[in-house]
A and B are shown apart, each in its own frame.
Chain A
Amino acid sequence: MKLTLRVWRQRNASEQGRFETYEATDVSPDMSFLEMLDVLNRDLVERSEEPVAFDHDCREGICGTCSLVINGVAHGPRKATTTCQLHMRSFKDGDTVTIEPFRATGFPAVRDLVVDRSAFDRILQSGGFISVNTGGAPDANALPIGKAEADTAFDAAACIGCGACVAACPNAAAMLFVSAKIAHLSHLPQGAVEHEQRVVRMVHAMDGEGFGTCRNYYECEAVCPKEIPVSFIADMNRGYLKAALTAASD
């Protein structure tokens, strides 16, 4: 197949970016999207131009490093699929494909398609953990956890922290990401203990990083490669209100 690529190029955070157009020839349907970009980069380097910087590592859909907004959709057209797992058979010969970074105030530009998602780390540092030190944990089976609860916790814990939810949201809200971590921990008895202070801290950290507020567009759920449901956001909001009320009455 042959494709026309419109790719966002930006040297660094302080310089203006722009779209550049490239022709991709020899695209095989069995290539992954990133392998198609590898070929583009090979051609660019061989022509003495600078390759397009993009983030990636595992190429297995699990590390959350890859990103890209493809034709206006975070991680591209295929449901429940990261960019690295998207294959070119999802496109047709002659298509024009527009490739942009995950844009959001909370994700400053680094270069080309690479952005800085360290705000996510800082939000988790504010409370996304169970306060337990190494050693001295009781026997793992001393605390039975019903399969249903364990499964819900798992569904939430499946988040790969890619940031597609933020990129897709018209308000650049990070609530799907934050609520997933809160849900993971609060559905487990070990994590429930610190639930209230965790919710308050993480919500404040999220606001402090410049992410917007959820206005129920649900674009986040639609692009989430791990299909994290928006119902976790409602749970988080309830938890936050309750915690805020408790704090007010203390």
Chain B
Amino acid sequence: MNLDAKIPSGPIADKWDNHRFDMKLVNPANKRKFKVLMVGSGLAGGSAASTLAELGYDVECFCFQDSPRRAHSIAAQGGINAAKNYQNDGDSVHRLFYDTVKGGDFRSREANVYRLAQVSANIIDQCVAQGVPFAREYGGQLANRSFGGAQVSRTFYARGQTGQQLLLGCYAGLNRQIAAGKVRMHPRTELLDIVIVDGTARGIVTRDLVTGKIQSWAGDTVVLATGGYSTVFYLSTNAMGCNVTATWRAHKRGAGFANPCFTQIHPTCIPVSGDHQSKLTLMSESLRNDGRVWVPKRADDDRQPGEIPDAERDYYLERKYPSFGNLAPRDIASRSAKEVCDEGRGVGPGKRGVYLDFRDSVERVGKQGVSERYGNLFDMYERITDENPYERPMRIYPAPHYTMGGLWVDYNLMSNVPGLHVIGEANFSDHGANRLGASALMQGLADGYFVLPYTIGHYFATYSPDKQPITTDHPEFKRAEAEVNARIERLLNVQGSKTVDSFHKRLGRIMWEGCGMGRNAQGLTAALEQIPALREEFWSGVRIPGSGSEFNIELEKAGRVADFLEFGELMCRDALARDESCGGHFREEHQTADGEAVRNDEEYCHASVWEHKGDDQEPVMHREALDFENVALATRSYK
């Protein structure tokens, strides 16, 4: 597997500028001859599709929701980072770069992260020009807040609906290009396979979710912007339709999957309330700006929170990490919550919860002040739990939220399969072993607006399209279509007795126990035995009513769960192979006496990239070594 990251030479601050100059350009008159198949229209896919269309490329864009405006990016709450230094508090491109590399626990690629920090400021300019209503100060200037893992205030936000406002801006730009006829949008259309011709990605096979029609599409490049795979845990903060299907099918066609075990468990979500639970709701990290996290000092303290005096409360993040306090990064905050609950000091039903308390900020800025910052989040909390967070501390617990792992890409955001680009959460690029808050929106838009539009041109200018233009009549398309059809038939023909969800829930439990917040060799080995068994049971026991040629919600889910049942195994395999703790990947065998992660840079300072060798073969792991030339490898400390 060729893992040449193609990092440009020269000092880190000059790499992107030099590269932009060195890349070849496509003659403007020729651009419309290149067809881009853009899969996904969230922040990454939507921004890329509209920008590429503005440049003159011919774009087909696909999403499984009924409208691009509903991509999962819409749900992001807290904010988007940018090194604007509007607050004059010492921020800079270099500091954002440094924070991100450190936050990722030194498992990301320096050059990519630096570029991300560089273009971050352009993103805010672009969004404001599109009409994104960011929060403002009375003087009319943009407002900022702080997020975890940073000591400067660089997060731009739109109340608690930043993702929604950014996506609506991006969707508006996309609509403009759709109206101009330069993007053809295909909603309710799901990618089910990637077509590779002579080693190059040349097309996709999709299913129309309304009619069931299977169709092939040929193009000059395929871009996957299909988001993350947190729903492998079943319960997560992600939308119900999020899936690994696109990236997994690409992996099975040759694309390397990097660091699948790097998943982020978000510290502040509403705890599980019962077996019926279908998803977990995030309470934005921004709440940790003003809320204080605590549990009773004593185990099994059943008093109401208001009756527990300060002296008997353990504000454990403030105690353990005095300089970052409640703003410790996510992995650390999550693990600390698990620790205190494991000690029996958890609160609420089932004792899997900790308090996030706004008492002091209500005293400081008043109910009105708190409501201005977090009103919609407080309302959401009350709707779900029936408790009033102005009067009683919120109960929160960690939940799967984001996946740093994804398809391996080089500096140009191209996978090891020529012609297959991967952007947004779907790639593995910038966040290493832990993502800092407000950096995913930044990365999705950086990839889509400011990186891919340059690098894709270089790809088109340097690849030689076949003398015979490829159409969907090519045998490779026919073969892929036949495989897609056969798989759907196979699913429908199982005719077992159990629902798709029942398998998804069971897989989720295996993943959460074996490959969740704390991992160890024994648990991972057990999960690696349970998953193939569950997969077998699925293929003999699942029931999908109806046919393939209609709107069929169970069939849709079944295809996704079948992929998760394969992918989950790779995740555990990766977690077992990475015998160190780093970021969100906490191997219990590797910790200090006071429970901090212990990295092993000698052996694991690399990205693990997996190659699929066939359904009955073990996958093979390759390594991309990571060099830290600009930020010295150091133990992460937030004390």
Contacts and interface: CB of A to CB of B under 8 A. Distances in A.
Interface of A: 11-12, 28, 30-32, 34-36, 38-39, 41-42, 45-46, 48-51, 53, 55-65, 78, 80-81, 85, 87, 89, 110-111, 114, 116-118, 120-121, 124-126, 128-135, 137-141, 143-147, 150, 153-154, 157-158, 160-161, 184-185, 188, 190-191
A31 B67 contact: no
A1 to B, nearest CB: 13
B142 A141 contact: yes
B279 interface: yes
A207 to B, nearest CB: 17
Contacts of B543: 45-46, 48
B50 A134 contact: yes
Interface in B118-140: 122, 124-131, 133-140
A116 B188 CA distance: 10
Given A132-B130, A146-B138, 6 more contacts: A45-B554, A49-B545, A60-B239, A134-B47, A137-B128, A141-B86
A28 B129 contact: no
Most buried by B among A51, A81, A118, A191: A51
Contact of B129 (A31, A45, A190): A190
A146 B159 CA distance: 16
A111 B550 CA distance: 9
B140 A139 contact: no
Contacts of B70: 57-58, 63-65, 161
Interface in B215-252: 239-241
A53 B51 contact: no
A12 B126 contact: no
11 contacts: A38-B501, A59-B240, A62-B75, A65-B70, A121-B185, A130-B131, A130-B172, A134-B453, A141-B86, A147-B140, A154-B159
A78 B383 CA distance: 10
A46 B175 contact: no
**What band does the interface of chain B fall in when counting residues whose beta carbon is under 8 Å from A?**
35 or more
A146 B279 contact: no
Given A28-B276, A121-B67, A51 B176 contact: no
Most buried by B among A36, A46, A58: A58
A86 B278 CA distance: 14
B140 A129 contact: no
Contacts of B550: 11-12, 111
Contacts of A146: 136, 138, 140
B545 A190 contact: no
B28 interface: no
Contact of B141 (A124, A144, A191): A144
A117 B67 contact: yes
A161 B70 CA distance: 9
A87 B383 CA distance: 8
Contact of A111 (B178, B278, B380, B551): B551
Contacts of A145: 136, 140
Interface stretch (B161-169, B191-199, B458-466): B161-169
Contact of A128 (B74, B172, B277): B172
B536 interface: no
Contact of B278 (A12, A38, A65, A157): A38
A161 B172 CA distance: 13
